[in-house]
Amino acid sequence: MKAYQIKNYGSPNKVLMLTEIARPQPKNTEVLIKVRATTINDYDWCITKGKPLAYRLLFGIFGPKKKMMIPGMEVSGIVEQVGHDVSKFQVGDAVYGDISQYGFGSFAEFLCIDEKALSQKPDGMGFEEASSIPHASMLALQALRDVGQLQDDQKILINGGGGGIGSFGVQLAKLYNAEVTGVDTGEKLNAMKIQGFDHVIDYKKVDFTKRNEQYDLILDCKTNRSLWTFLKVLRPKGKYVTIGGRSGNLLQMLFMNPLLKLLSKKRMHLVMLNPNSDLEYINGLYKDNKLKCIIDGPYTFDKIPWAVQRFGDGLHHGKIVISVNQKTGQGSHN
């Protein structure tokens, strides 16, 4: 089978190598999936570049460890084979999920993963759409609803609103009749307006932390600046929620929160993702036409290095989706 492997860190077009390797065999609790679609995530960019340096401590100093050599953490596809102890699925089932809790490896034609990492794909959902949902929608939902405690008619700001998490986040916030401002740049801004953002801010032209506007809830998809700067634009009981980012900025939170609890009712939180936990809720919204998958692509399998670079350059709107074992744009609903 064909798969993209990383042996060294560097630019995607140089270190993501398309190779021919043996098809894996499922262990007792694993299923073998024929991959139909996958996506590009921040993990794929970071593991390719080897940055931030904290990644190297986890995945290998000079290059990814062997088990990390095939990137990819979201998948949709068809079950081809099941392990002896598998009980959730059978051959022919259409499945999808965020597999990062159990491994990686969806930049390949076939993938073995523990059955617990997967869910049944809804009948009315295409494979490309299914692959775009698990990671970003769970982060957006858990950040806004669970951690941020989103309430009706609040003012929300999403920093990095043009990406996958932002595209789900604005739709979820609108279910609560929120007034949503998105921060990003370039061609994404017009697409964000069309999608439903009430206001958009070009961060290359305007520093939203220096404006007079204040927000009940800020979802930060970037965490690329000092967290202290967000306090001014939070309302007195406002919440700041980040999904992760630069380790130095996240460490600030450890020192800030005790001080905030003494001096203010403003709060800062980091989302600890619970993968795939609310997929049934998201599926219900999708079925009722209350949530749409905003897809950048889909692109063909051979475009993966280019697509990872596109993600790193921040040029995408929504989720970058890759079609595997099929032609671009011909997503199946089986």
Strand-strand pairing, 234-242 and 267-270: parallel
> Percent of the chain having pLDDT more than 70?
95
At residue 33 the predicted structure's pLDDT band, cuts being 50, 70 and 90, is: very high
In this predicted structure, what is the pLDDT of residue 334? 36
Look over the chain and give the mean of its residue pLDDT values, rounded to a whole number.
Answer: 92
Residue 28: pLDDT over 60 = yes
Phi and psi at 186, nearest 5°, equal 70, -150
Residue 67: pLDDT over 70 = no
Residue 326: pLDDT over 70 = no
Helix orientation angle between 279-287 and 134-141, rounded to the nearest 10 degrees: 100
> Percent of the chain having pLDDT more than 90?
81
Residue 64: pLDDT over 90 = no
Residue 161: pLDDT over 70 = yes
pLDDT per position as a tens digit, 121-153: 999 999 999 999 999 999 999 999 999 999 999
In this predicted structure, what is the pLDDT of residue 329? 38
| 2-133+293-323 and 135-270, same CATH topology | no
| Mean pLDDT of all residues in 80-94 | 98
In this predicted structure, what is the pLDDT of residue 278? 95
31: Cβ contacts below 8 Å, ≥ 6 apart: 79, 80, 81, 82, 83, 86, 89, 95, 112, 113, 115, 118
**Residue 166 near residue 141, CB atoms below 8 Å:** no
At residue 322 the predicted structure's pLDDT band, cuts being 50, 70 and 90, is: very high
Burial of 311 (0-12, 13-18, 19+ CB in 10 A): buried
At residue 330 the predicted structure's pLDDT band, cuts being 50, 70 and 90, is: very low
Q: Which of 26-35, 110-119, 236-245 has the lowest mean pLDDT?
A: 236-245
Which one, of 34, 20, 16, lies nearest residue 70 by Cα? 16
- Residue 33 pairs in a beta bridge with 79, 111
Residue 247: pLDDT over 90 = no
Which one, of 281, 327, 301, 306, lies nearest residue 134 by Cα? 281
pLDDT per position as a tens digit, 248-260: 666 777 777 777 7
Which one, of 18, 9, 1, 8, lies nearest residue 304 by Cα? 18
In this predicted structure, what is the pLDDT of residue 226? 82
At residue 312 the predicted structure's pLDDT band, cuts being 50, 70 and 90, is: very high
Residue 7: pLDDT over 60 = yes
Residue 331: pLDDT over 60 = no
**pTM for the model:** 0.92
Between these two residues, 65 and 242, which has the higher pLDDT value? 242
**Residue 230 near residue 209, CB atoms below 8 Å:** yes
**Residue 309 near residue 11, CB atoms below 8 Å:** yes
All structural domains of the chain with their residue ranges: 2-133+293-323, 135-270
Tell whether domain 2-133+293-323 is in CATH 3.90.1170.50: no
Amino acid at 62: F
Beta-sheet strands, E only, within 251-294: 267-270
CATH class of 135-270: alpha beta
Residue 321: pLDDT over 50 = yes
**Residue 113 near residue 96, CB atoms below 8 Å:** no
In this predicted structure, what is the pLDDT of residue 249? 66
In angstroms, the CA 247 to CA 280 distance is: 32
